[in-house]
Structure 1
Amino acid sequence: MVSACSFTDKLPFANGESSDAPQDVARAIPYSVTFQGLDPQEERLLAALRENSTTIRLKDRPTPTRAGLERRADDDVERFVRVLRSFGFYDAVVNYDIRDADTPPANGESEIASDDIEKIDDADAPESDGDNAEPAAQKETADSKEADAPRPVILQYRIDVGTPYLLSDAELKIVHPDGTSETRSMTDAELKTANLSIGMRAEAEPIILAEQSVLDVFRNEGYPLAKAGQKRVMADTAEKTIRVTYEVTPGKKATFGKITVDGATEVDADFIRGYHVWDSGDVYSPEKVSETRRDLAQSNLFNSVIVKPVGPVGENGEIPIEIRVQESDHRTIGGGLDYSTADGPGANAFWEHRNLFGKGEKLRLKLEGSGLKQGASASFRKPQFLRRKQALVADGEATSYTTDAYDGNLANAFTGIERRFWKHWSATYGVTVEYSDLTGPDSPNEEFYLGGLRGILRHDNTDNPLDPTEGDRLELTVSPYVSLAGANTQFTSVSLDGSQYYAFDKKGHYILAGRGRIGSIFGDERSSLPSNKRFYSGGGGSVRGYEYQTVGPLNKDGDPVGGRSVLEAGLEFRARVTDSIGLVPFVEGGNVYETVTPKDFDLMWATGLGLRYYTAIGPVRFDFAVPLDKRDNIDDDYQIYLSLGQAF
């Protein structure tokens, strides 16, 4: 029988000793613990021995006699043998010796000291005579106490691990519904699923965990009620091998059957059922069950979601599926503040309802204001529109702008379809209309009435929307526009934005993040384009260190005129100093060009240092940036930015 070993929390104090029992500290024998015969590379084994050791656990309550220490060591021997077997050393032998601390180990063999044991020193030894020598009477008393005090000892465990046993075969004993059975070796694919390999050291933990993976093999083949039977582990002491046999009762193969919903109150039950990813008649698949649960959890409608088969398999070969949910609050009110030296303070507030008509419809209303713009916006999203993983989306805004590039009023609206496909890909496409009455330093002082299409292709496999530590993002936007009335223009805007995140450690405390942007406008010349449809660069969302929209061509008064192409790049190193504080050195560059495509790669660069305060909803960002290509009488010496979330 193979079993995992962990006894620390289960066993009482050895030999009837109680944690509350009084200890005669003056007579207690101080001791340290060492291990001999172990490979120092066996770090997991050594840690398990220490964790299960009675002598280490009770080191701060030493016994007054060597016999008491021996009883503790005897208890450890039994524990250690079980631990060693769980690591594949079935022939291991454990002995121990107790010797005075000043006696070297036998044969000069090396020892591994326990990290949990404090080293014994001679701090209490009497000092030599000198100018500050103790009076004779006091010295005699100290000498007497020193003579009566027990001498420290070393408890040395001598471990002969022997030859490790290897896994020679892994078998499946399949018990059929009629009671018959067959036994066969696991295939390479089944071994891989179970994280086993022939010839591996026969450790208990992977052999035990593989039992659940073996059940997954059958569930993936359409047996939802597969159960594990008795596991048999046979050891060949001559060959030093282990053969394990997993008994499985698969039950009946099943297809997906009726779906029941439990726990829904405000969210429509039929809408919840519509999230299932399987078709009628599909063979049962735990992967499809997991995908359905994941999609429901990501709807932001529920605090918890459970999707599971509930047997038995019916006579028609179908198994019912239960979806159990606990609904969350569907309304949210929030807001935020931001600040930069160029733009001044800004604020926003929003109200959101995520179940407007009972089928997950989300309506979000937002107000925002700053020195650059003031306005209101609304967005609507209806999930599961006509088919799975498809949503009806709509948004609109009315904004007044006051920037160096243009000022005036803008209103637009968009309606379209958002479609998810593959695992991390999605697309949005639809129609848009826009009205603008903007005045700029190099643009016609006319009203534009535009109609157009918007197509967006996205890829996002990052792990956190506000503070990603790994993965990448890519967004391609294509938007053709044509005049419906007013000033005449026709053009197509194309842009590609991307970012990449790489973690140097498992906790994600050290992240290298990079971003890039390239865009072009095909069609009319720059002077015929609406001011707000041109490309601009500079500011907290693009190239920090320069004022908003000032990177690129300027007129004679120093005001930005925008361009028909843009190129940007940025790199950050995000390092957490503590769990809540981080430092972020960064460098960014960009430029805007009058031509359709960038005519060169001569970018305007800036660098800076950011401070992050990490909260439950995302990091608070404080950035200090300086322009490296500072222009006289145009660029300030530095810029400061304060907002929520990473820069990208």
Structure 2
Amino acid sequence: MKRLRISSLGKAISRNRKLYMPRIGLVSMLLGSSVLAACSGDGPLSLGFGNDSEAVAQDQLGTSIPYAVEIAGLDPQEERLDAMLRNVSTAIRLQSRPTPSRAGLERRAEDDVERFEAVLRSFGFYDGQVTFEIRKLDPDDDVTDDVVTSADGDAGNGAGDDAVQGASNTDGATNNTDVQSPDPLELIYQVQSNTPYLLSEVTLRIIHPDETVEREATDAELLQSQLHLGQRVAAEPIILGEQYAVDFMRDRGFPLVKAGKRTVMANTAEKTISVTYELITDRQANFGAVSVKGAETIDEDFIAGYRSWRPGQQYSPEEIKITRRDLAQSNLFDSVIVKPVGPVSEGGEVPIEIEVNERKHSTIGGGIDFSTADGPGANAFWENRNLFGAGERLRLGVEGSDQSQGLEGTFRKPQFLRRRQALVSNGSAKNYSTDAYDGELVESFVGVERKFAEYWSATLGPTAEYSDLTGADSPNEQFYLAGLRGILRRDSTDNPLDPIEGNRLEFNVSPYTSISGPSAQFASVSLNGSQYYAFDDDGDYVIAGRGRAGIIIGEDRSSLPANKRFYSGGGGSVRGYEYQKVGPLDENNDPEGGRSVLEVGAEFRARITESIGLVPFVEGGNVFESSNPDDLGLLWAAGLGLRYYTAVGPLRFDVAVPLDKRDNVDDDFQIYLSLGQAF
């Protein structure tokens, strides 16, 4: 059995593989992806292969030999290998600059043989052989379309393979009009990949400050390195396997581990490869002191408070990842870097550095919307995301439409009392004029929001409300309500305005009691959800679905404040019907609302161009007087939407028609215009 130690990256390989084969720089291409890619650019290379002299000769002689290139012998399933060979080929890259002689084409081919054999090794074919031949191109061959001619002449019949003819004028210059173009040539590479080498062993050589341990990788370590014994030894997984090995050493509390010398051994008799990864560590460490760089207006202690680990906890890159993600999601920074900076102290702790680049903290914005039923609407807001220097966010807004006008404000203080917990507050004062009710409404809420998992959060706090509303089947009295709002949320979507994957879920329980005015005690329970699934990696084709269900427990509909009943219909629920008009109506066809609601909808989002998309959709819903209705029949609608994608989100234009149109109630169609997807 003959074993070879592979250590040279750029060792030349004999062009005659029959004399030379396994004395390889086999490692060469276990590292080779990046080196090979560097050889594949479109610009000229100064590698000493005679390209410049060929260009001079071509200019002097006024002619060149066009040629076609064929790569033969590869398994049709080796598409990536074929693409890489073509990518590194000098002959193919310079095909638009034909050589003035057959000898020049031979030099290009000889150069390619070395490159091709290097690529074969990077794909695990260490016994691969490459030869070539150059022949005159038969006019009857099907490859004539592959011939690239120079600007000096077209492919044609000439005097011979290398014949170059020309006549000089009186000034000694070549007369190109008298040049007879030489015959085009065909360069054929014959590639024999032969038996691929397989991975037989992975060894870890771990160099600690006080000892060196060398052992075979465990099954778990192989799995984490995405390697398995018996796989074909290609360059990419071997290179990545080293980085994975570094990663799982970091997972074990070695923050400053780095890769040392990688050794690859080939057994030419058994056609196998063994790999040894050298890992150089510092001491195992716990999390140490946290320092902050780059903070300008944000308190450094506030930034350091985002750390997810406990004092004295063993170092873990997962905790570093969580801290970086939470800081990035705070909307306070343009960039965030969290890293160990070493060295490990005598006490076994590694310092952690958080480097941030603050973004602008104030924003002014607004938007408009329109529907045929509701008319135009507009809103504007001002927001500051660092009000007192610790990420406090205050947002004040104003909105106006035919249905409502008023002011609203929200406040959020992150890291309230503990990590991943925020103090939240909101309030609004609005005047309403809808078909369901008219009057004034003032609402307020103060609570605590806590994130307890990557996608989950919960909010709990008291709420107070004053309403003076007049509506159908309504007590028409002033209500003073106090209540408790509890919300459980899950949001794994990737974009708030245009999600292409993930889901949203919100479960809301809100009990209320009157503290003045008419007596009322009731609880509102609702569940809203949406799901998004992309059919392609780019998210150009997405199916989205949504649902809503809710019930009110405790009071009859006629005893409930008008604004606390459920309503359905309009751009945010069932498009195709007027706002709030899906459900019970009085004798004037005004909506009365109900104690339960059910809605479903689905749409297919197809991005036709970079900026234009089409969205067919179907939706259904209904509101029921009872909290336990006997009949769950829905009113259905369908439509087609147009999306114009902008930097801030899609501009939405929808046309919807009611499929269960009611006489003297529903219009033939509804039109909606706004920013962002419907859900």
TM-score (norm 1): 0.93
C-alpha deviation, 1:114, in angstroms: 12
C-alpha deviation, 1:23, in angstroms: 4.0
Task: Tell me the secondary structure at the aligned position of residue 631 of structure 2.
Answer: coil
- The total of aligned residue pairs comes to 623
Matches within 5 A, 1:288-437: 288-437=319-468
Partner of 2:269: 238
Rounded to whole Å, the distance in 1 between the matches of 2:331 and 2:177 is 72
Rounded to whole Å, the distance in 2 between the matches of 1:149 and 1:527 is 97
Q: What does the per-residue CA deviation read over 1:412-437, in whole Å, with 9 as the maximum and x for residues that have no partner?
A: 10000101012110011110000000
Are 1:57 and 2:110 an aligned pair?
Answer: no
8 A contact 1:593–1:599 mirrored in 2 = no
Rounded to whole Å, the distance in 2 between the matches of 1:17 and 1:538 is 72
Are 1:66 and 2:106 an aligned pair?
Answer: no
Q: What does the per-residue CA deviation read over 1:368-412, in whole Å, with 9 as the maximum and x for residues that have no partner?
A: 000110010000000000111100000000000000000100001
Matches within 5 A, 1:191-210: 191-210=222-241
Rounded to whole Å, the distance in 1 between the matches of 2:213 and 2:670 is 74
* Change in CA separation of 1:547 and 1:322 when aligned onto 2, cut-off 3 Å: same
Partner of 1:12: 46
C-alpha deviation, 1:265, in angstroms: 1.3
Task: Tell me the secondary structure at the aligned position of residue 46 of structure 1.
Answer: helix
Are 1:3 and 2:3 an aligned pair?
Answer: no
Matches within 5 A, 1:172-321: 172-178=204-210, 180-321=211-352
Rounded to whole Å, the distance in 1 between the matches of 2:497 and 2:233 is 44
C-alpha deviation, 1:26, in angstroms: 6.5
* Change in CA separation of 1:303 and 1:391 when aligned onto 2, cut-off 3 Å: same
Q: What does the per-residue CA deviation read over 1:449-497, in whole Å, with 9 as the maximum and x for residues that have no partner?
A: 0000001001111111111101111110001011100111111000000
C-alpha deviation, 1:100, in angstroms: 2.1
Q: Which amino acid aligns with 2:660?
A: D
Partner of 1:45: 81
Partner of 2:583: 552
Are 1:163 and 2:180 an aligned pair?
Answer: no
Matches within 5 A, 1:131-150: 148-150=180-182
Deviating more after overlay: 499-508 vs 16-25:
16-25
Rounded to whole Å, the distance in 2 between the matches of 1:405 and 1:246 is 72
8 A contact 2:89–2:115 mirrored in 1 = yes
8 A contact 1:492–1:521 mirrored in 2 = yes
Task: Tell me the secondary structure at the aligned position of residue 48 of structure 1.
Answer: helix
* Change in CA separation of 1:237 and 1:446 when aligned onto 2, cut-off 3 Å: same
Rounded to whole Å, the distance in 2 between the matches of 1:118 and 1:377 is 69
Are 1:506 and 2:537 an aligned pair?
Answer: yes
Q: What does the per-residue CA deviation read over 1:32-88, in whole Å, with 9 as the maximum and x for residues that have no partner?
A: 111111011111111110110001100111112111111100011011010110000
Rounded to whole Å, the distance in 2 between the matches of 1:578 and 1:336 is 25
Partner of 1:154: 186
Rounded to whole Å, the distance in 1 between the matches of 2:561 and 2:58 is 87
C-alpha deviation, 1:498, in angstroms: 0.5
Rounded to whole Å, the distance in 1 between the matches of 2:280 and 2:155 is 67
C-alpha deviation, 1:601, in angstroms: 3.0
Structure 1 gaps of 5+ residues are 106-110, 127-143
Rounded to whole Å, the distance in 2 between the matches of 1:22 and 1:300 is 62
Partner of 2:20: none
Q: What does the per-residue CA deviation read over 1:275-295, in whole Å, with 9 as the maximum and x for residues that have no partner?
A: 001111100011101111111
Q: Which amino acid aligns with 1:606?
A: A
Partner of 1:95: 131
Q: What does the per-residue CA deviation read over 1:110-159, in whole Å, with 9 as the maximum and x for residues that have no partner?
A: x9x89987699x99779xxxxxxxxxxxxxxxxx9899321122111000
* Change in CA separation of 1:582 and 1:592 when aligned onto 2, cut-off 3 Å: same
Rounded to whole Å, the distance in 1 between the matches of 2:55 and 2:611 is 40
* Change in CA separation of 1:560 and 1:115 when aligned onto 2, cut-off 3 Å: farther
Task: Tell me the secondary structure at the aligned position of residue 368 of structure 1.
Answer: strand
8 A contact 2:155–2:182 mirrored in 1 = no
Are 1:451 and 2:482 an aligned pair?
Answer: yes
C-alpha deviation, 1:29, in angstroms: 1.4
Partner of 1:108: none
Q: What does the per-residue CA deviation read over 1:313-362, in whole Å, with 9 as the maximum and x for residues that have no partner?
A: 11111111111111111110000011111111100000001011111010
Rounded to whole Å, the distance in 2 between the matches of 1:531 and 1:226 is 65
CA RMSD across the alignment? 2.2
Are 1:82 and 2:118 an aligned pair?
Answer: yes
Task: Tell me the secondary structure at the aligned position of residue 49 of structure 2.
Answer: helix
TM-score (norm 2): 0.89
Rounded to whole Å, the distance in 2 between the matches of 1:252 and 1:124 is 69
Task: Tell me the secondary structure at the aligned position of residue 148 of structure 1.
Answer: coil
Rounded to whole Å, the distance in 1 between the matches of 2:615 and 2:566 is 27
* Change in CA separation of 1:145 and 1:533 when aligned onto 2, cut-off 3 Å: same
Rounded to whole Å, the distance in 2 between the matches of 1:247 and 1:380 is 53
Residue number among 452, 470, 473 corresponding to 1:442 in the alignment: 473
C-alpha deviation, 1:307, in angstroms: 0.8
Deviating more after overlay: 10-19 vs 542-551:
10-19
Are 1:34 and 2:70 an aligned pair?
Answer: yes
Task: Tell me the secondary structure at the aligned position of residue 15 of structure 1.
Answer: coil
C-alpha deviation, 1:445, in angstroms: 1.1
Rounded to whole Å, the distance in 2 between the matches of 1:169 and 1:355 is 55
Partner of 1:530: 561
Residue number among 490, 493, 515 corresponding to 2:521 in the alignment: 490
Q: Which amino acid aligns with 1:346?
A: G
